[in-house]
């Protein structure tokens, strides 16, 4: 798989997760499903899901805690990201 194709997958997963956060499917303050579960659901590798989640960390939308999971923070999706959804 090419690097460009991999980046497209990560971007697509990130946008899907952003949409789920924005619509409340993943409520603020709640834990998101584990990486493995998301990977199976979305038919991608766990690494692809991990990269997408890390981009959400960099946006300040989620926090990741080892052995606990990924929690949605109580903040709004940045305007620039809303336009890309």
The CATH class for the domain spanning 3-84 reads: mainly alpha
Residue 21, phi then psi, degrees to nearest 5: -70, -45
Residue 24, phi then psi, degrees to nearest 5: 90, 5
- Determine the pLDDT at residue 2: 58
pLDDT digits (tens, 9 = 90+) for 8-42: 999 999 999 999 999 999 999 999 999 999 999 99
Q: Distance between CA atoms of 71 and 1, rounded to whole angstroms? A: 30
Query: What pTM was estimated for this model as a whole?
Result: 0.83
């Amino acid at each position: 798989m090419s690097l460009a194709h991999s980046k497209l997958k990560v971007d697509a997963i990130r946008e899907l997760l952003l949409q789920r956060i924005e619509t409340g499917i993943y409520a603020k303050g709640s834990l998101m499903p584990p990486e493995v579960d998301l990977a199976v659901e979305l038919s991608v590798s766990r690494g692809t899901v991990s990269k997408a989640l890390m981009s959400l960390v960099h946006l300040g939308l989620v926090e990741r805690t080892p052995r606990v999971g990924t929690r949605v923070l109580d903040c709004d999706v940045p305007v620039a990201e809303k336009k890309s959804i």
